[in-house]
Chain A
Amino acid sequence: MDELRSHIISAIVMHRPGVLQRVAGLFTRRGFNIDSITVGPSEQEGLARMTIISTGDDKVLEQITKQLNKIIEVIKVRDLNADGTVTRELCLIKTHATSERARSEIIQYANIFRGRIVDVGPENLTLEITGTPEKIDALIDLLKSFGIQEIARTGPTAISRGSKTI
């Protein structure tokens, strides 16, 4: 049995209704798992880029890319090599901040993590942070002691380094 690994699959798809359903349905039907999926417009009009994070062995990954390629509206699929790829995720965190001390600590953490305070309420702060999923996990861990009220994460999106495109 091959080793289970997390894979970053990048796909260029036609930007049309139903495409996300086709892709998601394929994963369900074939028993592949999706850790996260992000979709947005790509550099070309009418085409969108999907970034799918999935865990599986090499055989599963091969099937995922081949089955994705069979979808008529999927134009290109690439398994991005983790080393040669820039991966980023955006996260919004709303946390309790009732005392002056808590507020200043949270602001300091945000600065260290190159995050920003995007909203201030009488009893809470909302932070915006962008980075690798690991970095976001680390900040969330630190903020837990203040009492996190809500987290909204986009899931990672990715692009290959250098001049390489998919």
Chain B
Amino acid sequence: MKGSQAIIKSLTDEGVDVVFGYPGGVLLPLYDVIYDSDLKHILVRHEQCAAHAADGYARASGKVGVCIGTSGPGATNLVTGIATAYMDSAPIVALAGQVGTPLIGNDAFQEVDTIGITMPISKHSYQAMKPSEIPEMIRSSFYIARTGRPGPVVVDLPKDVQEGELEYPENITIDLPGYKPTKKGHPLQVKRASEMILNCKKPVLLAGGGVIHSNSSEELKHVSELIEAPVTTTLMGKSSFPEDHPLSLGMLGMHGRKVSNMIVDECDCLIAIGCRFSDRTTGDVAKFAPNAKLIHIDVDPAEIGKNIPVDLPIVGDAKIILSHLIRAISQSKNHNNHGWVDYVSKFRAKCLPRLSFEEMPLKPQQVIKEISEAVTDETIVTTDVGQNQMWMAHYFTSRNPRKFISSGGLGTMGFGFPAAMGAKVAMPENDVVAVCGDGGFLMVCQDLATVKEYDIPVVVCVMDNRYLGMVFQWQKLFYEERISHTKLKAMPDFVKLAEAFGVNAYRVERPGDMKETLQEALKSGEPSLIDVMIDPNEILPMVPPGCGLTEIIGEDEVERGNPDEIPHKFSAKETGGD
């Protein structure tokens, strides 16, 4: 069989049923096989959207997403999407065309060093130099992408390698002596962690994206209820824990909920699971959780101690470690003492954010409140990057894992819409809503053609304030209101723009209209766009860069009560000794 046929066979053997791609000169042999294969190919309108769609597909389903771009500009257009997936540990395989092997290094037409360019932004990369390498290479790529800490893998496919002949092996063995991710946590560390937890007074759980990647939301809930610890999340961890649960605090960090920032500041034991302590989560690291012993559970040993010193690391798969932790803790007798939880609940009740605003222009909080009312627990929401993202992260109530998808690490404007497209393709039974800003959506609006052509019924909500809101906010707060190039003076009429693509469009300008419009758009079963005209002057409460998490601006002062009155949850007698 030919190399190109082997590529498609390898993909189907991995269970791939859909790929997002864009053809090109060196991909002619591959696309000639796709022409009559069962593999569904979605032709995007820009390769960046192919990578983001594969990413959205992966995050929504937990399966590996696949994108394809041609050599040179096709590959460089994939780069932003690959870097986005890398920063957020999303499992994708990016197939890139390459000029024929005799031409490599000659600066041939559409030649670029894809391997060199993607090395620092991918978990691994391969270049096939012989057709016979293809089966093992693709098998290994999928294995590496989905195991351990997931991430993107790049496969560079020269044209002559796609055309050459090979004998497809019956059994493919992958040989990766340098790749053995740890799964099971060290039992002694788990035991120590359980003792530390049982002996603390004010525990808090911090859930990151790793909880979602490892499908351990159930275990997280079990632990939090068992030890009566409130749960906060990072941006990537949002949706790992039901945010309407009595123990939920909401997101932590620069744009986090006040209660989360204050309670993490106060806690005496922070149990962090699958998070990497990004600067947006911790604020000034010297002031982060100053009173807490820190337990860090992560599958990637390099994350332990990278940004924050850790008292007790456990390396391994969060699902396995949490279940072992549950077993270890359950063996101790639980004193039914709600002191800490009561204290946290009372404080939380005092600093719930205001969501209802009747005034005009429309406030984003009101829009998000109505979005929350219009969707169900099974709706997948994606966000773009900027104020729209932080408003959603801050105000939107997320209940189920893999139902909130956002570009956290790289912060890629233009992510929300193509990611929604990928999520909808992966989960056709679920409603999918993309909440974008006007700036970010305009970067990828050409893919309205894709959702129209393939009838991918996502609903795009454009939070339209004619500003690059987040940078505008920082200019107002920290740069003496010198509004440099954040006003979008000439913008399209988004309703007409959508209609030009044959996509249904609505405009919302008044409080109370969003819920109904979104429900109608979702019910239509067709791709739709809602242009939501919002107040450009609404800013978010935030922790200024370089400050500690408690130094929030834009929120009212709230009395915290006296934490010293909290009694011990477990008595030393019950937990001491081995």
Q: Which residues of A contact B (CB under 8 A)?
A: 13-14, 18, 21-22, 25-26, 29, 59, 62-63, 66-67, 69-75
Contact = CB atoms under 8 A, between A and B. Distances in A.
Contacts of B144: 72
A13 B178 CA distance: 8
B115 A69 contact: no
Nearest to B123: A72
Contacts of B123: 72
B15 interface: no
Contacts of A72: 123-124, 144, 176, 178-179
A62 B305 contact: yes
Contact of B302 (A22, A69, A75): A69
Nearest to A28: B120
Chain B interface size band reads 10 to 19
A29 B178 CA distance: 21
Contacts of A22: 119
A21 B178 contact: no
14 contacts: A21-B116, A25-B119, A29-B120, A59-B305, A62-B305, A66-B301, A66-B302, A66-B304, A70-B300, A70-B302, A71-B178, A72-B144, A72-B178, A75-B178
Contacts of B120: 25-26, 29
B40 interface: no
A44 to B, nearest CB: 10
A34 to B, nearest CB: 16
Contacts of B169: none
Interface in B153-196: 176-179
B327 interface: no
A21 B302 CA distance: 20
Nearest to B301: A66
B321 to A, nearest CB: 19
Interface of B: 115-116, 119-120, 123-124, 127, 144, 176-179, 300-302, 304-306
A95 to B, nearest CB: 39
A30 to B, nearest CB: 9
Contacts of A26: 120
A86 B119 CA distance: 33
Contacts of B119: 18, 21-22, 25
Contacts of A73: 178
A73 B175 CA distance: 11
Contacts of B116: 21
B176 A63 contact: no
Contacts of B127: 18
A14 to B, nearest CB: 7
A113 to B, nearest CB: 39
Contact of A75 (B115, B177, B305, B306): B177
B178 A67 contact: no
A42 to B, nearest CB: 13
Nearest to A70: B302
Contacts of B115: 18
B301 to A, nearest CB: 5
Given A21-B119, A29-B120, A72-B124, A14 B305 contact: no
A86 B115 CA distance: 36
A14 B302 contact: no
A63 to B, nearest CB: 6
Nearest to A71: B178
Nearest to A18: B115
Contact of A69 (B177, B301, B304, B306): B301
Nearest to B303: A66
Nearest to B149: A70
A132 B176 CA distance: 35
A26 B127 CA distance: 19
A3 B304 CA distance: 21
A152 B558 CA distance: 68
Contacts of B306: 63
Nearest to B300: A70
A70 B124 CA distance: 10
A64 to B, nearest CB: 10
Contacts of A70: 300, 302
A62 B304 CA distance: 10
Contacts of A18: 115, 119, 127
Pick from A26, A67, A70, A74 the residue with the most CB of B within 10 Å: A70
Nearest to A13: B178
A74 B127 CA distance: 17
Given A14-B177, A21-B116, A72-B179, 11 more contacts: A21-B119, A25-B120, A29-B120, A62-B305, A63-B302, A63-B306, A69-B302, A72-B123, A72-B176, A74-B178, A75-B177
Contacts of A71: 178
